[in-house]
Structures are given as C-alpha cells and as structure tokens.
Structure 1
Amino acid sequence: MSLAEVEARERRAQARGLFRALEVLRADMARRAGETLEGWDELIRRPEFMPSARNLADYLALRRGDLVPFQAPLASLGLSSLGRAESHVRPSLDAVLASLALIGGEGVAEYPPVEIFAAGPARLAARRDALFGARRGHPNTRIMVTLPSEAATSAELVAGLIAEGADCMRINCAHDGPDAWSAMIGHVRRAAAEAGRRVPVQMDLPGPKLRVEEVAPGKAAKKEKTDPGETGRLFEGDRFEVVDVLSAKAELPQITLSHPALIAALEVDGALWINDGKIRAKILEAHPGRVLAEITSTPSKGAKIKVEKGVNLPGVDLRVPALTEEDLGHLDFVLGHADIIGFSFVQTGADLRALFAELEARAEPVGERSGPSLMLKIETPLALRNLPALIVEAGGRMPVGVMIARGDLAVEIGFERLSEIQEEILWLCEAAEVPVVWATQVLENMVKDGQASRAEMTDAAMSQRAECVMLNKGAQLGAAVTFLRDVLVRMDRHNNKKSPRLGALGLWHDF
C-alpha cells in the first residue's frame, strides 16, 4: 500500500471518529435545547421570535461543553470548526456531519438547504434596521448619538449630527425634562425628513439612582478648602463613613447614599466603588446606620468624593426593582414620542413583567402594537447571568435589543473581565438574532477634546461587530461621528461579525 493510500485511510478513520463524536454531541444538544424551549414556551407570544429562540436554545446547549478538541481535527479536514455557527447552529453542525460522512464513507451526505444559512443573518439585519434605521451602503453598523441639552435649542446641531452620519438619537431622561425632550425630538424628526431618512429616537428611563447623595467633609478636613457637596482629597489608607444621616460633629468625612438598599448591602470586607471605580474602598465595620470604609485605591493625586457620583458594590447582587416612580412619571411621554425604550438596570424577569404591566395599563397591549421597541441595558452581573431569559421574555413580547453598558458593567464584574464578557454577549445575541449596542466611552477623548487615543481607535474598530455603536455627548461630537463612520466603513471591508471577509489586500496588491 502506498503512502498516499495509508494517509487516505487515516483520513477516513479520523472522519469516522469525528462523525461519531459529533453525532453524540448533536443528540445531546437537541435534547437540552428541547428542554430549554419547553421552559420558554409560555414566554414567547410573538411567533416571529420562535426561530430566534430555537437557535438560541441550540447555541446554549452546544456551548455547554468544550468544543476546543474538535477544532484542529475539523480544520485539518478542511471543514468548519463551528467557530462561526452563532446564527445557524444546528444547520452548521448538520453540514459538518454530512461532510464527515462523505469523507469517512459512512452513510449518505445530507446537507441542510443553502438558504437556511442566510435566514438568521437576514432576520438580524432586518431587526437592526427596524431598531436603528436603515441606510444605503456602508457602514453596516449604525451610530447612536446621545443628545446634549443644547440640542433642545439648536436645530442646527441636530441636523449637523444627522448629516455627519448619525443613524439614531438617544435621550437620557435622567437629564432635562419634557419641554426639552419635545424640542429635541422635533428637531430630529424635521432633520430626518429633510435628509429623507428615518432616524429613530431612544429614550432611556433613568432607573434606580445608585449615587452619593450628600457629603460632609468631617472635622479632619476643615482646614482644607472644599466646595459644597465634596469631601477633602482622599488617598489610599484614608477612612470615611457611610451613614443614614450626616453629623456635623463627625471627625471623618461622611456620605449618604441615594438608595436604602445600598447601605443595607454593605458588609465587612466588602467593596465600595465610587465614580466608576476611581475611588475604591473596603468596608471595615458595619453597624446599623453607619459603615466605616477605608480607601484602597485612588488616582495618584488622590480624589474627592462628590455628590451625584455613581456607586457600585462589586460582587453584590443588588435586588432593586428596575422601574422607579420617576420612570413611571416619564413613561407616558416616552410612549408618545420614543421609538425605543431604554430599560436601565433591568436584571430579572420580574423587572420585565413590571414594565409590561405598566405598558398594558396605558392601553399599549404588548406584542399587538407598533409602539416603541425595548432596549435591555445590561449593567450588572445578575442581568448578565439572566441575559438569555431576559432576551427570550422580552423578545417573546416585543421587538428587543441589548445594550452593553460597559461602564457600569466593567465596574461590577471587574475591568479585566470586560473584554471577554462583551465578546460573549455579542455571540449570545447573534445566536438570538437580537441587535446589540456597543456603548460607553467610545471615542471619549475625541468626543470631548477632538483627539482619539490609540486604544480608542482600536475599540472603535472592534465595535464594528455590533449592530450599533453609541457615542456620548461632548463638544466634538460631530467630528467623532464622522471619524467613527470612517472607521466602521473601513472595517466593513474586512470583517462581518466573527468572519473575516478575505477581500484582496490592496496595500500589497502588486507585491
């Protein structure tokens, strides 16, 4: 027997072994996915979402195990390693099995219909356009812009943003008020009509305020000049107190927090982070109404604790209802004007059901209307763990998207984990055929000062794999929209989600 015949026999044996292993994997996937779908059955009231839920169930079942051992052997046979199966999980596995059967000489190769591989991406693209607006040509990724207060009085500012390439506008209901919001939306609608485009508006409900509410500098800081609403400058090793009520006689700086659940959740050795983690502290003592904390990390020049700065408790599942009285006060306006409801701090199915009940109480039957879509803002570890269920329950009732709120999420799960977690969210949402917004601090230096850092340029390029990218407000917002659009167009030449397009390398075309 020749060497070529020996190698061919080995290839056939390898293919047969892989075929049997993947057959077992597929059967297990089908069983688990079926059980998951059965549990989701009552949540899905929109038949058009069922194919997405089915593919998501397949993906969750497939990714329970480790696929690494299959990747190199499949690639050595010239087959898919299942690394890009998110939008068509079961057909991808079936196609690999058919090819293995053909190579190994076992059974008949029955490939799935070619069109089934395009169905999921087509649904995702249609949902992207419905949420964030359609556009001709590139970039495929849409740009969402957070409107500043000035947008209420400057129609030119809004029209300029749309002309620069903004696809969707965001209004944060934690700022301004109904009169300003009405003016902003009026400017958006008129400018969009003049541009011959649909520019949707997302209005974010503020959710529970987890912030520093009051500050007292303490006697020890009396000699240092401080403005109202801030402590003196604190460094590593300094101590402060978290209290229910400030005391004018306190030796140490004191702060109060905006939500009673925050101080109740503070425990000895727990972490308390302020202002997106710029100030980090460890809890030394916890008593009713008073908690003693010690600074463990600040910038090198120290930092002051100021009112209205955000508070995070890393490692703590804070069971706070997402929908607040303030949100309910905004909801009538939002329903009458917004294309997308941004649902802040959503963590559980109970949060979703509370919102659905409020929508239906306002004569807005969920799933039977052409009203706003829903944007799930993922900000906490609990929301992250519940994400598949949140997607299914929300998407089963109304059009839905997912926003990766990378600022709060990074603080909550740890900055070192954000990179991998945002990847996993992108994969999960692609499997669920749900559009994703890549949000928080995108091109932040450029938006504020007109010059992007190298790291921000890389981040902007990576954002192309999401369906939408969000820019926050700043003095150079228009220039940032132009720059981001150019980056996204360039990246569209090279990548589609996880798949390289492998176009010609123009730089070395004549090499």
Structure 2
Amino acid sequence: MAREKKAKDPKALLKKMTELYDDVSSEGREIFKEWEPKIERDAFVDSAENLSYYLALRRRDIRGLQSELSPWGLSSLGRLEPKTLSNLEAVIATLGELADESSPMARPSYESFVEGQERLLQNAEDLFGKKPKKRSTRIMVTMPTEAAKDKQLVKDLIAKGMNVARINCAHDNPKIWTKMIENIRHAAGQKKKDVKILMDIAGPKIRIDWIFTTRKKPKVKPGDRFRLTRNYTDLPPNDEVKVTVGCSIPQIFQALKKGDPVSIDDGAVEGKVVSVTDEEAVVEVKHVNGSSIRIKAENGLNFPDTEFDIELLTEKDREDLAFACEHADIIGCSFIRDEEDIVQIQQEIHSILGDKAAGMALMAKIETVQAVENLPRILLTASAKNPFSVMIARGDLAVETGYIRLAELQQEILWICEAADIPVVWGTEVLDNMINTGIPTRAEVTDAAEGGRAECVMLNKGAYVVEAVDMLHQIFEKMQEHQYKKTPKLRALSIAKMEEE
C-alpha cells in the first residue's frame, strides 16, 4: 500500500511563495524597465508590464510548487497569464491566513484579476470586430477569386458567421481585390454586420519556380533524388535524379549544407541534402505522403534547419502594401523572423501613411522557428506602435519545427500572447476535409474546438466553405459554455443529471 503524503505546511509554502514572488517581481521590473521607453502606445503599457512578469515566472519550473498548493484548495498558478502578479499575491495572502501569520502583502482587488482579460477582449473587438452574440471566437475566411463576382457567396459567408475576410495577396490582383472588397463592404452593410478585411502580404514564401524532367510520370518516392537549382540554362543529364526543380534565390544554395532537411508542399515531400554547390543541391527523398507524389511548380519549399537572409518585402509586396494601407483594416505580415522584420514593415507603412500609420492594425504570421524564439520581442516591437495580433500559421510552422513540437508550440504561443493581451488567430487546415468534401473528420472537429481558445479561427477557401463557417459557428457556440482559454467553465452537465430510481 502506497504511503500517504502529507500536505506541505502552509508556513513552508508561504516562504516558498514569497521568495518566488520577490524573484519574479524583481526580474519582471528589470525586463519592463528595458521595454518601457520603446512603448509609444499607452494602451499597451499595462499589457507589456504583465508580460514581463509572466516571462520572469515562466523561466522557472514550478511544477512541484503547484502540486503542493492544490491540496490546500489554492490556485495552482495554471491560469495566471492575464494577471501574473495578482495571482501570486492572492495565494500569498491566503497562505498567510492559513499559517496564522500576518500576510506580507494585501489581497489584490477583484479589478486586478479581470483587467487583463478585459484588455484582451477589447483588443480582439478592435481588430476583429464586435463579439458575436453567442460566441467569443471570431471566424476568418480566405476569399476565393469567385468572391469578386459572386456577391451571393459573400452574403452567405457573412450570414453564416464570417467576421473577418482574408485576402491573400499571393493570389489574384488589385482589380480583383477591389471587387472583393466592394462586395464584402456592401454585403456587410446590408446585413448590418461588422466585417473586417485582412490583406495578407505574401512576403518571401519560397516556391518552386519551374520543373524539368524527362520522365513521363515525374513522381518521387522514398529513395529517389531530385535536383534543386537556380540555373535553368545548363541541366546536365543525371540518371539518379528524376526531377530538377528551380528556385531562383541564391542565398539558399550559399547556406545549405549536406544533411540539411528540405521540405516541399508543407511536408508532403521530405528529404535530406546529399550534395550542394553554389548553384544547386541534390536532395534524397526520405518521406512522402502516400507511396509516391508528384512535385509541381508553385509548391512551397521549406528549409527547417537552414538560416539565410532574404529580403522581407519584394517590389510586388511594397505595391501590395500600399494598396492594403488604403483598403484594409488589418495588414498581415508573412514570414516574420524577428523584431527587425516588424520594424521594416512599420517603416514601410509610415512611408505610405505618415502620422496615420500608428492606427493601422498589424498581424504577424508565426511560421518559423526564429519567430517562435523571438516571439516576446516581436510582440513588444509591434504592439509598441500598432494595434497587433498574431496568426499561428500551423502549416509552415509544423514543417519548420516538426509535427511533434507543433502541439506544444501552438499552446505556448497562445499563453505568451494572452499574457500580453494580444489576440491570436488559429490558422491552417481547420475543417479542411469539410471545406473540400462537405464531410468533416472527427479529428478536425476536435481541432476546431481546440481553436476556440484563440480569438479568431481561419478557414481556407473551398467548395463547402459556407457550410464550414456554419459548422464552426455551432462548434464555438457549444464550446463557449464549457471553456475560456485554459479555464474550464463548470456549466451544469446534462450527463450528470441522473434520474432518481
């Protein structure tokens, strides 16, 4: 029989908690002291201060302390993102009473516990529009080209619950975007709905420019090799290479090393570099989705372990950014790696809008390992000047970090952003099977419900996207009664109401 463990004495816990509080508050003040002079938006000051204390706390492993607090009916510190110091203060005040000692600090006010959550809710409303009546999570939809002509499609999306319309600047053109925006604004006005428009600047998405092969069926399978090259004028015959794919960015070949992983089409093809020169790399396929797969032009390329510098904004991106500054409510920034990328975007917007640049809302897509590692400074730099949100771009992020780490990282991003009162968009392949076939899988329904912890969830375009919006609305309506962020809501359960025999 296992030996029973006694709960830790409240006096010992009080000492531990007081020491933790002193360390966290001291380190947090030092972090905030560095940040404060850079913050131009008054609305972000309190959020930045809370984030500084949260980061100071999360540098520590406090799992042992959590298990010691729970038997006393105290907060185990698992939901302190929007109220870090107040949560610690409340636990210390209660421990002082349990230990019959004068508490080293006063019990915090109720207002201090809710002000962080209220800031986040207000920020979400400012960026994504008014909260729908029956759910707090907004729905974002990527506009298909048809939205420029099919007014009924736009009306149906809004009627079913779309709150944010996303225009992907990697596709279509300003003429088509203008028609889309006209249709969205008109339909929203008719429905008296607050629908925001996000224009997503393409950024340096690395893609296959062209393909050369002598094979009739140029599919690849594990063990095959393909050549990645920037030179299409001199293609030497090579029996071991089935397909040659073009990529015009020279920095890639200068940075690649033997053994580096290469991924195509969000991980549909995964391989390793077996040889590399300044002009090309030969890649051996290690894994494909299925028995074999065809590589196509325009497929995305990822290099998870390779760092290289490429321009954040192309000339086309700058033109698209100018259009977005005139027409969009939010500007999406792709492939952000660090705070310097944010500064470049802000400077470009300022050159277009001047003093009005501070009012333009920004969204950073977190899709690289570098972005995750630099997330706190990205949040600080962006929110210091602009209303700001984050999109967890789970497709590229999964390729960059590996699918195992994705589950962990998407939660960490949610926590860090909540501590900074930054709204989050849960993106990539949400209800993907539903959108394309009309039938959802069980796994993607659960994934969609998990996305309800974010302030907004993004759906891609597809034949059944209207039905997917309706389904997502119903999922969020149900889940809102049971969960907010990390906090379960204990609504009465019908399953618990057993009939008396």
Bucket of the pairwise TM-score, normalised by the shorter protein: over 0.9
- The 3 A distance-change label for structure 1 pair 507 and 293 is same
Q: Which residue of 1 aligns with 2:122?
A: 126
Contact 1:172/1:203, CA 8 A, preserved across alignment? yes
After superposition, residues 136-215 of structure 1 pair within 5 angstroms as: 136-215=132-211
Distance 2:362 2:198 in 1: 9
Query: 2: CA distance between counterparts of 1:250 and 1:41?
Result: 60
Tell me: CA distance 1:100–1:167, structure 2 relative to 1, closer, same or farther (3 Å).
same
- 1:465 counterpart SS class: coil
Compute the TM-score of the two structures, normalised by the length of structure 1: 0.93
Query: 1:249 Cα deviation (Å)?
Result: 4.2
The answer to whether the Cα contact below 8 Å between 1:321 and 1:351 also exists between their aligned partners in 2 is no
Q: Which residue does the alignment assign to 1:438?
A: 426
Q: Which amino acid aligns with 2:419?
A: A
Q: Could you tell me which amino acid in structure 2 is paired with residue 180 of structure 1?
A: I
Residue 425 of structure 1 pairs with residue 413 of structure 2: yes
Is 1:452–2:440 an aligned residue pair? yes
Aligned: 1:411 with 2:399: yes
Residue 179 of structure 1, CA deviation: 1.0
Structure 1 SS opposite 2:471: helix
Q: Determine if the alignment matches structure 1 residue 272 to structure 2 residue 262.
A: yes
Q: Do residues 135 (structure 1) and 131 (structure 2) align?
A: yes
1:121 alignment partner AA = Q
Cα distance in structure 2, aligned partners of 1:183 and 1:390: 33
Q: Which whole-Å CA distance do the structure 2 matches of 1:111 and 1:321 have between them?
A: 51
Q: 2:349 is matched by which residue type in structure 1?
A: L
- Evaluate the alpha carbon distance shift between residue 357 and residue 300 of structure 1 in structure 2; reply closer, same or farther with a 3 A threshold: closer
Deviates more, 1:58-67 or 1:323-332: 323-332
Residue matched to 2:293: 303
Q: Which residue of 1 aligns with 2:221?
A: 235
CA distance in 2, matches of 1:332, 1:77: 58
**1-side partners of 2:489 and 2:323: how far apart?**
44
Task: State how far apart, in whole Å, the 1-side matches of 2:387 and 2:188 are.
Answer: 22
Task: For 1:66 and 1:299, locate their aligned partners in 2 and report how far apart those are by CA, in whole Å.
Answer: 38
Answering whether residue 276 of structure 2 is matched by residue 293 of structure 1, we say: no
Aligned counterpart in structure 2 of residue 464 of structure 1, from 423, 445, 452? 452
Question: How far off its partner does 1:38 sit?
Answer: 1.9
Cα pair distance change 1:438/1:242, threshold 3 Å: same
2:14 counterpart of 1:19: yes
- Is this contact kept in 1: 2:167–2:177, CA < 8 A? yes
Residue 3 of structure 2: aligned partner = none
C-alpha contact 2:366 2:390 (8 A) present in aligned 1: yes
Q: Is the 8 A contact 1:343 1:376 kept in 2?
A: yes
Query: What is the aligned partner in structure 2 of residue 509 from structure 1?
Result: 497
Residue 319 of structure 1: how far off its partner (Å): 2.9
Which of 33, 37, 40 is residue 42 of structure 1 equivalent to? Answer: 37
Range 496-505 or range 346-355, more displaced: 346-355
Aligned residues: 490
Q: Matches of 2:120 and 2:391 in 1, distance apart?
A: 15
**CA RMSD, aligned part only?**
1.6
SS in structure 2 of the partner of residue 115 of structure 1: helix
**2:330 pairs with one of 305, 325, 340:** 340
How far apart, CA to CA, are the structure 2 residues paired with 1:499 and 1:154?
41
Q: Which residue type is aligned with residue 468 of structure 1?
A: C
- Amino acid paired to 1:47: D
The Cα of 1:214 is off from its aligned counterpart by: 1.6
Q: In the TM superposition, what is the alpha-carbon distance from 1:366 to its structure 2 partner?
A: 5.9
Hey, what does 1:3 align to over in structure 2?
none
Select which of 76, 82, 88 maps to 2:83. Answer: 88
SS at match of 1:301: coil
Per-residue Cα deviation, 1:317-366 (whole angstroms, up to 9, x for no partner): 33333222211011221011000000001112211111111112123326
1:250 paired with 2:237, answer yes
CA contact (8 A) 1:378 1:409 kept: yes
Q: Could you tell me how far apart the structure 1 residues matched to 2:86 and 2:14 are?
A: 15
Question: Is this contact kept in 2: 1:158–1:187, CA < 8 A?
Answer: yes
Q: CA deviation at 1:42?
A: 3.0
Q: Where in structure 1 do 4 or more consecutive aligned residues deviate above 4 Å?
A: none
- Equivalent residue of 1:280, what SS? strand
1:363 partner SS: helix
Question: Unaligned regions of 5+ residues in structure 2, if any?
Answer: 1-5
Amino acid corresponding to residue 481 of structure 1 in structure 2 = V
Q: Which has the higher mean CA deviation after the structures are superposed, 34-43 or 373-382?
A: 34-43
Partners of 1:210 and 1:258 within 8 A in 2: no
% same residue = 39
> What is the alpha-carbon distance in structure 2 between the residues aligned to residue 119 and residue 279 of structure 1?
47
Distance in 2 (alpha carbons) for counterparts of 1:20 and 1:258 = 61
Write out per-residue CA displacement over residues 3-48 of structure 1, whole angstroms, 9 at most, x where no aligned residue: xxxxxxx87x711111111111111111211111122123211111
Local SS of the residue matching 1:288: coil
Residues 355-370 of structure 1 mapped to structure 2, 5 A cutoff: 355-365=345-355, 368-369=358-359
What are the ranges of 5 or more consecutive residues in structure 1 without an aligned counterpart? 1-9, 226-231
TM-score using structure 2 length: 0.95
